[in-house]
Amino acid sequence: MVSARYGRSMLGCLFTVLIFVAVLYFGSNLAGPYWRYYQYKDSMSQEARFGSQVTNEEITRRLHFKADSLGLPPEAYRLRFNRTANTISISAEYQEVVELPGYTRYFVFKPRVEAPL
């Protein structure tokens, strides 16, 4: 004789799907700031590689456009340059806030790149 246990298996599957969706949702909220940080740092690196050909003002203008397109906070627009005879370094510091239900997390990012001139 075969007995059907539909309710128990459906509830287990629904619970697993709910857990998976919650992990994806909260994971994407936490991964977003790190993804923007890596994109911004990559842009900084690219600008530093061509630093001998452009001025600090031009690099600043380009990185401001990038920060704006990424939706970074205003602190990310404050860039620091250090040029020596052989190298250029570009750095910034900014903070992003991630709000989760019942929890707020502050992330401080300090992108810094250095490249030869």
pLDDT tens track for 67-100: 999 999 999 999 999 999 899 999 999 999 988 7
What are the φ/ψ torsions at residue 88 (nearest 5 degrees)?
-130, 135
Assign 85 to helix, strand or coil. Answer: coil
| Whether the predicted pLDDT of 4 surpasses 70 | no
Give the least confident one: 13-17, 47-51, 56-60, 108-112.
13-17
Of residues 62 and 117, more confidently modeled: 62
| Structure-token pair, residue 115 | 């490249």
Q: Where are the domains of the chain?
A: 6-116
Q: What is the mean pLDDT of residues 22-45?
A: 88
Residues 6 or more apart in contact with residue 12 via CB below 8 angstroms: none
Closest CA to 34 of 116, 109, 117, 115: 109
Q: 61 pLDDT band (50/70/90 cuts)? A: very high
Q: At what angle do helices 6-49 and 56-70 cross, to 10 degrees?
A: 170
Of residues 100 and 108, more confidently modeled: 108
What is the per-residue pLDDT for 5? 56
Q: 18 pLDDT band (50/70/90 cuts)? A: confident
Query: Is the Cα torsion angle 72, 74, 80, 81 positive or negative in sign?
Result: positive
